Amino acid sequence: MKRGIKLKIAISSDHGGNNLRKEIKDLLDELGYSYEDFGPKDSTSVDYPDYAQPVSSGVAAGKFDKGILICGTGIGMSIAANKVKGIRCALVHDVFSAKATRCHNDSNIIAMGERVIGPGLAREIVKTWLETDFEGGRHERRVEKITEIEQQN
Ligand code: RB5
């Protein structure tokens, strides 16, 4: 698992996730991760799929190792991200799930809602998610089965 500055992260939000995106970028800076910010640049109302797409496509194409998506609830972003082949986006609002979705699902994008959790918890969630490795083993088989479903549809 690549860690620290070797891990390349893509991040975006919609207008509902702007403040939390700034907070998480501060966290990434503090932890030494490199990232690309796909916006939006200001608080004008935007459509979350437009911002989920570049992050998701970038991760699916291997340009980025992981992605972080934030909207008001995290739900719209997670639904949009999971439409992109190769993406396993987890909507997470607690630290246990952040760890579990890396260990068990090998999630490559995390989605969160700024209107759901505060910045302190969001920071803990992202830190845990970034630092937790996929367990493999029986979980590898299950993730492969997700990929098979994706390829059949
Ligand atoms: C925007 O108002 C809101 O719908 C969006 O941020 C998100 O919560 C959608 O799932």
Summarize pLDDT for 84-129 with one digit per residue, the tens: 999 999 999 999 999 999 999 999 999 999 999 999 999 999 999 9
17 C-alpha to ligand 1 centroid (Å) = 9
Q: Is 71 an active-site residue?
A: yes
The first and second tokens of residue 144, run together, are 């492969």
The 3-state secondary structure of 62-75 reads CCCCEEEEEECCCH
Indicate the burial class of 62 (C-beta count within 10 angstroms; 0-12, 13-18, 19 or more): exposed
Could you give the 3-state DSSP secondary structure of residue 78? helix
Class of domain 8-152: alpha beta
Residue 97 CB–ligand 1 contact under 6 Å? no
pTM of the entire predicted model: 0.96
Does the beta carbon of 112 sit less than 6 angstroms from any atom of ligand 1? no
Q: Cα separation of 52 and 14, whole Å? A: 9
**Nearest CA residue ID for atom 6, ligand 1:** 72
Q: Give the ligand 1 atom nearest the CA of 77.
A: 10
- What is the tens place of the pLDDT at every residue in 32-63? 999 999 999 999 999 999 999 999 999 999 99
Q: What is the DSSP letter of 6?
A: G
| C-alpha 69 to ligand 1 mean position (Å) | 12
**Residue 16 CB–ligand 1 contact under 6 Å:** yes
35 forms beta bridges with 9
Is 48's C-beta closer than 6 angstroms to any atom of ligand 1?
yes
> Residue 88: is it exposed, middle or buried by C-beta count within 10 angstroms (0-12/13-18/19+)?
middle
